[in-house]
Structure 1
Amino acid sequence: MSKVTIIDMQPITPAVGGGRQRLLGLYHALGPDMHATYVGTYDWRGEAPRDQMLTPNLREVLVPLSEAHHASAEALADRMEGRVMIDIAFADQVHLSPAFLDVARRHIEEADIVVFSHPWAYPALREAVDRRQLLVYDSHNVESVLRLSLHEDLPQAAQLLRRAVECELQLCRDADLIVACSHEDRETFARIYEVPWSKLRIAVNGIFSFAVGATGPDEKRRAREELGLGDRPVVVFLGSDYGPNNAAAAYIADELAAAVPRADYALIGSCCQALDGRSRSNVRLLGVLGEEDKRRWMRAADVAVNPLDAGSGTSIKMFDFMSASLPVVTTPIGARGIVSPGEPPFVACAMADIPRTLNGLLDDAGRRASIGEKARKVVEDFYSWERISPDLGRLLQKFLSQRQREKPRFSVVVPTYERHHLLDALAACLEAQEEKDFEVIVVDQSRERWPGADAAYGFDLHYVKSEVKGAVHARNTGGRLATGACIAYTDDDCEPTPQWLANAGKWLADPTVVGVEGLVRSEHVGDPEWRAVTNVGFEGVGFMTANLFVKNDVFQRLDGFDLSFDNPHFREDTDFGWRMQTEGGVPYAADVEVFHPAHRRDIERESQAERNRFFEKDALLLSKHPERYRQLFLAEAHFLNTAGFWDHLARGAEKYRVSLPAWLDEYKAS
């Protein structure tokens, strides 16, 4: 059992507000072999100490601050024109609350993993952390940037802001692992604090989606009856009293409701307060609702809108809408940071196009149902605390296991699905490697656990059983768990030569090289009854994850593979290889070899017709790399010898909203 101590200066419960919801979501279920204790406090007077179990594996311990601490914080607020600064002043005032420090030190001493969920308490408790422990910074924001944006207009706050930077910088330098909410935050940490990319990871924000089931026709009908709604379509918006939300609510009440009068609009949350009671006959200002009433309106609605024209980070309300199986019309700002496999699970458009887009959705019940179903699936797979928390637990355990030993030279990542017998053969090839300094991470999406997962090998095996399907997601899962200096990708049906890793290491010793494309050898080349899997003749053009190396820091800096290329997965390796080339050299190495067996075409998923539909993804690749795609297009010449290529490309262009360039017309005519 690994013990985790999390330190912060707020309570978790009641879990209101983004910060507390994140704390509860992240740590409520790290894993059956992990026990988390959260040590926090209150930033107001009058509360009693608290010690309670929030979940079977999450304990909340709260220690009130002293009267002297509160008095000092109030005096500071007076000097700051009434602005509350108790958080960023915590490092220099917490000595006034010795009881909090005593409890925090005791729980730190008992822990294997110590997490600071803001940097404010770290300076006062830094000496309590033993270097045998894994030290983690769980960042809710890049605090120095956020606090500067909030208080740079206040000259007397300059010293306090410098202190905030010092606290965060110190924690960033000392931490073994930094967990950010977004890739954009990771980029900021790397840029302003020069944090090595190899210790930056992401734990996205989410919601508890499994607590409430998806909304079907029966649930929708009952909700509408309970609310006394008629047959008119209902459009819902949810927002707190926050500038961008207030502006969105005003847009709905003042413009959208008039532009699309056929619908009724339900506005939920404290954003209603900013409208001063003004509304149209088809706009209801519902204000702050309890959870059950809010869910009832979500179930009753036909469409959600998120017309944000400003703001930062991920709009969490999108997950509320998507979890309720609602199709969402949103601006790109409203959908920022939400990634998904395949077609987006919402409709994003410019603010000026919202009325037309909303009308189109209201006219198409089938499309609404399709988008809503996909939206629910995306939230369940990628934005549910029920999945995010165990994923974080796995990451913490992985970094803890590596804390006591030297990091390996290679992390070999293998995604697998229903081919356990091939994994056994691959394991034998890996045991035969001349290079011995490596770990193996297997991400298994099969129904059953791989029997070989518990066997003893000549290498460290980290086995991940994933309920989320998709090869791109599996490769990213392995890459984010990897602690090796370089990540080596291969497939579960490949057979690397004994020199595979050793020879790759020679190429990667060049500091200008960021990755290596190895030789993929196959059989039955040219036989129409078989699909040969080889990159011979396409060196440096397409890239294949059957044999691809990338330095760990580069993988993290590129944010891994683009999930849009999943479902079905195709071209994600090409996209990644091209992006990798912008970071440095990626030589083709014929001496870094794996054998990939050919696949029979009479297997459904390997048939020509099934594989050809994958060319929908070419539209995505074209949109991201227009010049490079033209080279690939001519080199592969699928437009000449692949039946249905143009139809699939056009379908992809429509699905991903890509404008096909005029130069394609010349080849289409041929």
Structure 2
Amino acid sequence: MNILQVTPTEVYPPKKGGHHRTHGLATGLSEVGDKVIRFVQSGNINRYFQRGSSWREIEQYREYIANSPPYDMARVLSKAGIRTSAFLGEALNLWTPSVLSDLINWADVILVEGPWQVRSISEITNTTPVVYSSHNVESEENLRMLETIGGSIGYRYVYNCEKEAIEYSDGLICCTSRDRDLFKYLYDADTNTIVAPNGVYKSDLNSSVTKSDINHILEDYDIQDDATVGIFVGSARQTNVNAAKYLIHCVKKLPESTSPFVLFIIGSVSEKVDTDDPNIYKTGFIEDLDPYYEIADLGFNPVSEGGGSNIKMFEYMVNGLCVVTTPRGSRGLSDFPEQSYIVSSRDNMGITIERVCENKIKMREIGSMARKYVSENMTWSSISSDLHTEIENL
């Protein structure tokens, strides 16, 4: 099957959860035998000053990056206005490059990542099925707009974009059954709906971390042998910022009797939080997380808002970490074994951390069970194999 994946902006190399989902699906579908090409509507501005083709080979698939002033201006206006890629869809209606028309004719199905371009792509093609590939429910994800001056206008625009995406698409891909039900509730969505969860790469199953890598971190941060190490990984989205601030608050309140505890806040989220606790480290963005996963015991996801599911959860699990999360953070884990992660209310998060630190054997058992389940069921290849079948049946 020839699959055209359409994205508003560049996602490779992946730096955020949404990037990993987009790249993971493209990789997984390629691994099950599909031919995948990605059309990127607006690339990095630096590409205007670089020589070379707009085409590039990415692992098992190809990508075309369509840098053009109208598209890039639409992206800038979108980010400055309502902080989404909403206006890029409108720009597609003003100018459709011939390469996109050719790719649409080549494709058996088109997967549009996010709602912003669905209507425009659907209007360009009359015969190729268009599938809205969602990462969350945007009208839920952007509720904070309503708290800002004039935000109701931007929120209405987001709501209408998502509503049109469902109306104009031939199918809808959701991360979780919760998202599927919310789409149905908000928009009375009666389109063909597929639940394709987030996953992990095959390469995540085998660690290449050396003992030297581990010792380097342990020595740099002076981590004791008997210390429990926790990590929270995230981008600078407000959902993650709020979760990180709350986690820092809980860790600082741990009683002195608790065994030595070290927390790493990793990713751009660490630039948005402050702490003077000597046992909490903010690292910024780190390209290779494997050494940190190797020394960690606990993976945290104490979010209280947001839709979709967090890819960080599956990365924690495939690395054998014991996951501690909130009920909201556990969305997308309904099919997991009951004892493969720990759910705690935010009010009890501090107590939960304290109790978990007291039983490292149980902690490792939970991490091992989670790793086994994710390794056997949650690779992008296995997820994409099921997705391929569902798409064929549209």
Shorter-chain TM-score tier:
0.7 to 0.9
- Match for residue 64 of structure 1? 67
Residues 374, 398 of structure 1: CA spacing in aligned structure 2 closer, same or farther, 3 A cutoff?
A: same
Alignment counterpart, residue 204 of structure 2, candidates 181, 187, 211: 211
Within a 5 Å distance, the mapping from 1:528-539 to structure 2 comes to: none
- Match for residue 215 of structure 2? 225
Shift of 1:358: 2.9
Q: Measure, in 2, the Cα distance between the counterparts of 1:147 and 1:156.
A: 10
- Match for residue 424 of structure 1? none
Q: Measure, in 1, the Cα distance between the counterparts of 2:157 and 2:273.
A: 39
Residues 396, 45 of structure 1: CA spacing in aligned structure 2 closer, same or farther, 3 A cutoff?
A: same
Q: Which amino acid aligns with 1:225?
A: N
Residues 286, 33 of structure 1: CA spacing in aligned structure 2 closer, same or farther, 3 A cutoff?
A: closer
Alignment counterpart, residue 373 of structure 1, candidates 364, 368, 371: 368
- 1:191 pairs with 2:185: yes
Residues 104, 154 of structure 1: CA spacing in aligned structure 2 closer, same or farther, 3 A cutoff?
A: farther
Within a 5 Å distance, the mapping from 1:447-486 to structure 2 comes to: none
- 1:283 pairs with 2:280: yes
Q: Measure, in 2, the Cα distance between the counterparts of 1:88 and 1:165.
A: 11
**Are the counterparts in 1 of residues 172 and 194 from structure 2 also a CA contact under 8 Å?**
yes
Residues 62, 182 of structure 1: CA spacing in aligned structure 2 closer, same or farther, 3 A cutoff?
A: same
- Match for residue 53 of structure 1? 57
Q: Say what the alpha-carbon RMSD is for the aligned residues.
A: 3.2
RCO comparison, higher one (Cα < 8 Å, 6+): 2
- Match for residue 200 of structure 1? 193
- 1:114 pairs with 2:97: no
- Match for residue 272 of structure 1? 270
Within a 5 Å distance, the mapping from 1:40-189 to structure 2 comes to: 40-42=40-42, 45-48=45-48, 50-56=54-60, 58-65=61-68, 67-71=69-73, 76=77, 82-83=80-81, 87-99=85-97, 102-131=98-127, 133-147=128-142, 149-150=144-145, 153=148, 155=150, 158=153, 164-189=158-183
Secondary structure of 1:89 counterpart:
helix
Could you list the per-position Cα deviations for residues 432-485 of structure 1 after superposition, in whole angstroms to 9, with x for gaps in the alignment? xxxxxxxxxxxxxxxxxxxxxxxxxxxxxxxxxxxxxxxxxxxxxxxxxxxxxx
Within a 5 Å distance, the mapping from 1:15-54 to structure 2 comes to: 15-30=14-29, 31-42=31-42, 45-48=45-48, 50-54=54-58
Q: May I ask how many residue pairs the two structures share in their alignment?
A: 381
Q: Measure, in 1, the Cα distance between the counterparts of 2:286 and 2:301.
A: 18
Q: Measure, in 2, the Cα distance between the counterparts of 1:164 and 1:268.
A: 30
- Match for residue 12 of structure 1? 11
Secondary structure of 1:395 counterpart:
helix
Residues 161, 109 of structure 1: CA spacing in aligned structure 2 closer, same or farther, 3 A cutoff?
A: farther
Alignment counterpart, residue 235 of structure 1, candidates 229, 234, 237: 229
Could you list the per-position Cα deviations for residues 212-242 of structure 1 after superposition, in whole angstroms to 9, with x for gaps in the alignment? 4279xxx797664332243132322223323
Q: Which amino acid aligns with 2:270?
A: C
Q: Which amino acid aligns with 2:62?
A: R
Percent identity of paired positions between Structure 1 and Structure 2: 23
**Are the counterparts in 1 of residues 10 and 42 from structure 2 also a CA contact under 8 Å?**
yes
Q: Which amino acid aligns with 2:58?
A: L
Gaps of 5+ in 2: none
**Are the counterparts in 2 of residues 325 and 376 from structure 1 also a CA contact under 8 Å?**
yes
Gaps of 5+ in 1: 400-670
Q: Which amino acid aligns with 2:216?
A: E
Q: Which amino acid aligns with 1:109?
A: N
Residues 39, 259 of structure 1: CA spacing in aligned structure 2 closer, same or farther, 3 A cutoff?
A: same
Shift of 1:35: 0.6
Could you list the per-position Cα deviations for residues 621-642 of structure 1 after superposition, in whole angstroms to 9, with x for gaps in the alignment? xxxxxxxxxxxxxxxxxxxxxx
Q: Measure, in 1, the Cα distance between the counterparts of 2:71 and 2:359.
A: 59
Within a 5 Å distance, the mapping from 1:399-548 to structure 2 comes to: 399=394
Residues 351, 209 of structure 1: CA spacing in aligned structure 2 closer, same or farther, 3 A cutoff?
A: farther
